[in-house]
Amino acid sequence: MGKNKLYKFAEMEKIPLVFQYPFARLQNEEFPLKGKWNSDFFRNDNPIVLELGCGKGEYTVGLARRFPDKNFIGIDIKGARMYTGASDANISGLPNVAFLRTSIELLQSFFTPGEVSEIWITFPDPQMKKVNKRLTSTRFNGIYREVLVDGGTIHLKTDSPFLYTYTRLMAELNRLPIITDTDDLYNSGLVTDILDIKTHYERQWLSRGLSIKYLSYRLDHTIRLEEPADEIEHDTYRSYARHTIPS
């Protein structure tokens, strides 16, 4: 591990809004804020919103600045990247931000049923070959339902035509109410304060001439989720060099 990563991990331990609980740590101790985020950390009754795979945390911090009446928690397993957003939020003194370094599969170890009101998934790996690793798969939606209020909102923002199409088909098949659906966000007329925050990766995709897709839907707790059987064309541009825009 490089010196820069070691430095960031050490600094993260000093930031009071960061909680580092990988799987190994959970084997030895329970997470103390489970079911108590509002009362013991945020000290308010405002809705809790998660950003999964938050990377550098730009969206988590950006949303927190725009919506002081909500609490935002960025979650990622890669703590060195998370350091950027965590440091920004800490220095800015944002009272409605936290970061959690852990695996998304472990959400039930950190939140009780109904403790979360919304989930953002921003620019995840589309996992074109492994459906169970897709963050909008029925497997992960099943995990989300364990912590999300019934009818809570899932937001997907992605550059990937494959993941966008897959998620829309999954929502339609399972009759999950779609709130917003666009395959070209910045030319749709839908851009608002909540959608114009641009992550590090989003700026890269936009610079390559790629459109941004956005889909939000409500997650019903009562239905049995099924996977779509449709064949979906795979993305091709990820195999290109970063500076190359495919035709």
Instruction: Tell me the catalytic residues.
Output: 125
* Contact by Cβ (8 Å): 105, 135: no
Q: Token pair of 20, please?
A: 């580092």
Whole-angstrom distance, CA of residue 229 vs CA of residue 216:
21
Q: Token pair of 222, please?
A: 């009562």
In 68-106, which positions are buried (b, 16+ CB within 10 angstroms) versus exposed (e)? eebbbbbbbbebbbbbbbbbbbbeeebebbbbbbbebeb
Kind plus residue range of the DSSP H or E element containing 153 = strand 148-158
Q: Half-sphere exposure of 148 toward its Cβ, with a 13 Å CA cutoff?
A: 24
Give 48's strand partners: 71
Kind plus residue range of the DSSP H or E element containing 117 = strand 116-122
Q: How many CB atoms lie within 10 A of CB 229?
A: 7
